[in-house]
Structure 1
Amino acid sequence: MFIHMKELQFRAKPEKPDPVYARKLQEVLGGQYGEMSVMMQYLFQGFNCRADRKYRDMLLDIGTEEIGHVEMLSTMIAQLLDGAPADQVDEAAKDPMIAAALGGMNPQHAIVSGLGATPTDSNGYPWNSKYIIASGNLLADFRANLNAESQGLLQVVRLYEQTTDPGVRDMLSFMIARDIMHQNQWLAAIEEIEAIEGPIAPASFPRERSVEEVTRQFMNFSVGEESSAGRWANGTLPDGTGDFEYVANPTAYGDAPVLNPPAKHQHSTLGTGPYVVNEGFEK
């Protein structure tokens, strides 16, 4: 069960309203890498976790914290919208570059949500459950979590650069700190699982059932060979099963495909004239 505490996890009070910035903050609330996404991702990974209970507990700890971050951002957005008139044109939106990107405040804040936050991104696109990953494979999921925290932190840092409001920056500085912690958390969890399973996810599929020779090959599919200088093309494979091989001119393993004609009921063959395949009960 969940129990709600009335106090926010951290301060969330701007110095003054800013409807245009409220729209920007919507991205880290309801965007692809926003707090709603990591909240749902961690919670569903935790709900579905069949591994050692410490992983379930950890996932539900961080997922529940993210509920609090959704609350903080929603509270901040609502306060940034305080007193915004319907025809609000922020000074920042008069800048041609910003106006082109944002077009001022989000009209749905004034029309739909009563000057409150919405479960959408900065363009008003609704949050989508397709943003989240909960596969049941801990190593694959934890790597997805690391990516989510990395992209989320990048966006929050960019938002920090776009405001001088001390109250907004105060809250963002806390979110930045927690994202740093969460990246370290996922790196540590990944390291723990890799020590058991190795770095490939899933580790359970028999390697001999794969086309083993290409598990080692970096294939050059572009003009030039600059990519040959990278670690990904030289030295020992991270999983310890051999060495990387650089293939400068990959060759085809298969033949040129030739597809069968389409089924007649698809009506896709040229030059057939009129016909009906399924006559049914027509008189």
Structure 2
Amino acid sequence: MFMHNKRLQYTVRVSEPNPRLACLMLEQFGGADGELAAAMRYFTQGLTEEDPGRKDMLLDIATEELSHLEVIGSIIAMLNKGARAELSEAARSEAELFREIGASGISAKEAILFGGGAALIDSAGAPWSANYIDSRGEPTVDLRSNIAAEARAKIVYERLINITDDPGIKEALGFLMTREVAHQKSFEKALYAIADNFPPGKLPGVEQYASLYVNTSQGEGDLTGPWNSGAQWDRIDDLTETMPIDGGTGIPTVTLSPDQVEVAEQMALRLASVPEDRLTGAEIGAGPGAGRTSTGDKGGAADIAEASSTARAMSF
């Protein structure tokens, strides 16, 4: 059950309307790393969580994210206040309004469909999507994803802070950014409160591959560090000597029934390549810049004529 308190969690003070900035702020309203996505991610996780401590934490943070949605939505509404009134009341001429939509950064969807109001779209006008929610129903997976989501949101807030000189907006965004930091800390504590939290899930990794580092990108720029060298790792550099890694042939196989073998052989015979060089449509139409063809390397009209003549001869 929810009860709404009309006071914001953080007071919004906007110096002056700025529709262009409002459009950018939509990224944290209806965007992939925005507050609605965070609230829905944590609510859906919390509703199915069996552990009482994690359930309480997830529902607490999910509810707070809704309050953050209200803060960022209020910023957008204040930044759009003048433009919204002009669009709704036709306070300016048609040409002026049309020019204002482009000059102010308001998208056509934001202006025409939503009348300059805060809408669940991102800064490019794309509608919010449940595809942003990447929960898997496994706490050790979801908590790591939540930590990453909060980190991404913090970076977006940093960039929004950097593009405004409005002190009130900077303060409000700084508050929202800092709450992302606090949530990361809570999620990490919850993750490490699970004794066996790595690797994720129930099944153990295959021991012979769990400490293997395969140096597949070789050449200038090869570096070593604790991520690929030392006692923790069995490192493979000579790929030609060690692959396939399971000691097999590396050739995929499948067991078929006799009927399936017969059908597969028929299909292979029907689709088999022939070694002779056959004239193609690309060669018949080849012009300058087409490169060498099977009819020679003259290129241009002479090559086309010769190819056409050859094609006619082959058709009889």
Distance 2:100 2:216 in 1: 50
Indicate the percent of aligned positions where both proteins have the same amino acid.
Answer: 33
Scaled by the length of structure 2, what TM-score is found? Answer: 0.70
One-letter amino acid of the counterpart of residue 232, structure 1? W
Deviation at 1:190, TM superposition (A): 1.9
- Report whether the alignment pairs 1:255 with 2:250: yes
Instruction: Tell me the secondary structure at the aligned position of residue 46 of structure 2.
Output: helix
Shift of 1:113: 1.2
1:130 matched residue in structure 2: 131
Which residue is 1:215 aligned to?
210
- Whichever residue aligns with residue 230 of structure 1, its letter is G
Counterpart in 2 of 1:281? none
Code of the residue aligned with 1:216 in structure 2: it is: S
Matched residues in 2 for 1:215 and 1:158: separation?
A: 38
Structure 1 residues 199 and 227, CA, compared in 2 at 3 Å: closer, same or farther? farther
Does the 8 Å CA contact 2:14/2:169 hold for their aligned counterparts?
yes
1:15-164 paired onto structure 2 within 5 Å:
15-50=15-50, 52-84=51-83, 85=86, 86-87=97-98, 89=100, 104-164=105-165
**Structure 2: which 5+ runs fail to align?**
87-96, 255-259, 265-269, 273-316
Secondary structure at the residue paired with 2:213? strand
**Match among 224, 232, 247 for residue 229 of structure 1:** 224
Equivalent residue runs for 1:268-279 within 5 Å: none
What is the distance in 2 between the residues matched to 1:125 and 1:248?
Answer: 45
1: distance between equivalents of 2:99 and 2:9? 31
User: Secondary structure of 1:41's partner?
Assistant: helix
Contact in 2 for aligned 1:29/1:120 (Cα 8 Å)? yes
CA RMSD between the two structures: 2.6
SS for the counterpart of 1:218 is strand
Kindly provide the CA deviation profile for residues 14-45 of structure 1, in whole angstroms up to 9, marking residues without a partner as x: 11011011110011111111111111000000
Residues 77 and 117 in structure 1, CA contact (< 8 A), matched pair in contact too: yes
Q: Which residue of 1 aligns with 2:193?
A: 192
Shift in Å at residue 166 of structure 1?
1.4
Gaps of 5+ in 1: 95-102, 237-242, 264-268, 272-283
Contact 1:26 1:122 in 2 (8 A): yes
- Asked if the contact 2:153/2:177 (under 8 Å) is kept, the reply is no
One-letter amino acid of the structure 2 residue matched with residue 48 of structure 1: T
Is 2:6 the partner of 1:11? Answer: no
How far does residue 184 in structure 1 lie from its aligned partner after superposition?
A: 1.4
| SS of equivalent residue, structure 1 residue 197 | coil
Tell me the distance in 2 between the aligned counterparts of 1:230 and 1:108: 49
Match for residue 307 of structure 2?
none
1:174 matches 2:175: yes
Kept in 2: contact 1:228–1:234 (CA 8 A): no
Task: Determine the C-alpha separation between the residues in 1 that align with 2:197 and 2:63.
Answer: 29
Residue 234 of structure 2: aligned partner: 245
Q: Deviations over 1:113-132 (max 9, x none)?
A: 12211111110111111111
Higher relative contact order, structure no. (Cα contacts within 8 Å, ≥ 6 residues apart) = 1
Residue by residue over 1:163-213, the C-alpha shift from the partner in whole angstroms, topping out at 9 and shown as x without a partner, is 0011211210110121111121122222222xx1142101x2144xx3x31
Query: Which whole-Å CA distance do the structure 1 matches of 2:140 and 2:99 have between them?
Result: 47
**Is contact 1:22-1:77 (8 Å) kept?**
yes
Shift of 1:255: 2.8
Q: CA deviation at 1:49?
A: 0.7
Please, which moves more after superposition, 31-40 or 150-159?
31-40
Paired with 2:222 and 2:191, the residues of 1 have a C-alpha distance of 27
Any conservation in 2 of the 1:29–1:121 contact (CA below 8 Å)?
yes
1:206, 1:199 → 2: CA distance?
A: 9
Q: How far did 1:109 drift?
A: 2.3
**1:229 aligned counterpart, secondary structure:** coil
For residues 13 and 233 of structure 1, the distance between their equivalents in structure 2, rounded to whole angstroms, comes to 50
Instruction: Determine if contact 2:110/2:125 at 8 Å carries over to the other structure.
Output: no
